[in-house]
Amino acid sequence: MRPISIERRAFEGGVEQLTAIRDFVTRVVRQLGAHDDDLFACELATDEAASNAYEHAYTDRGGPIEVKIWREPDAIVIAVRNWGAPFDPASVQEPDLDAPLHQRQVGGLGIFLIRKLMQDVSFAFDPIQGNTLTMRRVLTRA
Amino acid sequence: MSSRRQLQITKVKINAVTIISVTGSVDALTAPMLAEYLAREIQNPNPNLVIDFAELDYTSSAGLRVLLSAVKAARARGGDVRLAAMQTNVAKIFEMSGFNAILKVYPDRARAVASFAA
């Protein structure tokens, strides 16, 4: 069995890092053989995960975020890690897509999109290892 | 170095409709700029806005949140925010988030502008 090669990069700062994070994800995921829809899903889901970390874990003050990406036979796996306050995305209420305009809430869309685009979304908190959101994208053209 | 285009917002007024063109990417960094721009436009009475997304390459949920607030504010002042010419990936996020049921979306800016006369 071939050893899994993991692409890893750390980003220091705040939301101004989002462009670099998206560039990293699109480059790596493309190299790993993903196209179009999968590429877009990975880019957006990672952006949402990192944006959530900046807003909730680092409460808009910024901090390090590490992105790890690897390939499984039929999927791309992405892990987004931060060392801020533990924030469980599962605690976020899902937006009610059928609600009329005046009742639509502005929050919760990020994690909602992650769950729509990716599979096996999990969250682990460790005071030393950091908070890691891991998600898989099963490739449409593996 | 990123090849992505920086966020640029321009506007042009046709009769009672203001067309706002958004170029580049909207994410958690740039969404506040779009929010501020739209908030200024919506201060006017009966703000009829068309946002032309033909040159919008990317938006995250940060952009959707801005639009949700903008359309609420515009309708509260007797106007509306209508969207035109979304690229495929942007349209996909809209659909996934159920925003097609909230905002009026048109294939091009001419039809979006004309919709205000109807």
pTM: 0.94
Interchain contact, A97 vs B97, CB within 8 Å: yes
DSSP string, B85-97: ---HHHHHHHHHT
Is the pLDDT score of B33 beyond 80? yes
Q: Compare CB distances from B96 to A22, A98, A116 and report the shortest one's residue.
A: A116
Distance of CA B18 to the CA centre of its chain: 11
| Enclosing domain of residue A64 | 5-138
Q: By the CB < 8 Å criterion, does A128 face chain B?
A: no
Six-digit token pair at B47?
Answer: 């703000």
* A-B contacts at Cβ under 8 angstroms: 70
The chain B residue lying nearest A47, using CA atoms, is: B60
What is the per-residue pLDDT across A5-48, written as a single tens digit (0 to 9) for each?
Answer: 899 999 999 999 999 999 999 999 999 999 899 999 999 999 99
CATH code of the domain covering residue A42: 3.30.565.10
Q: What mean pLDDT comes out for the span A66-75?
A: 96
Judged by average pLDDT, the poorest of B3-7, B36-40, B59-63, B113-117 is: B3-7
A70 touching B, CB under 8 A? no
Of A51, A101, A102, which is closest to B60 when you measure between CB atoms? A51
* pLDDT tops 90 at residue B3: no
Structural domains counted in chain A: 1
Q: Which helix (H) or strand (E) holds B105?
A: strand B104-106
Domains by residue range for chain B, with CATH: 8-109 (3.30.750.24)
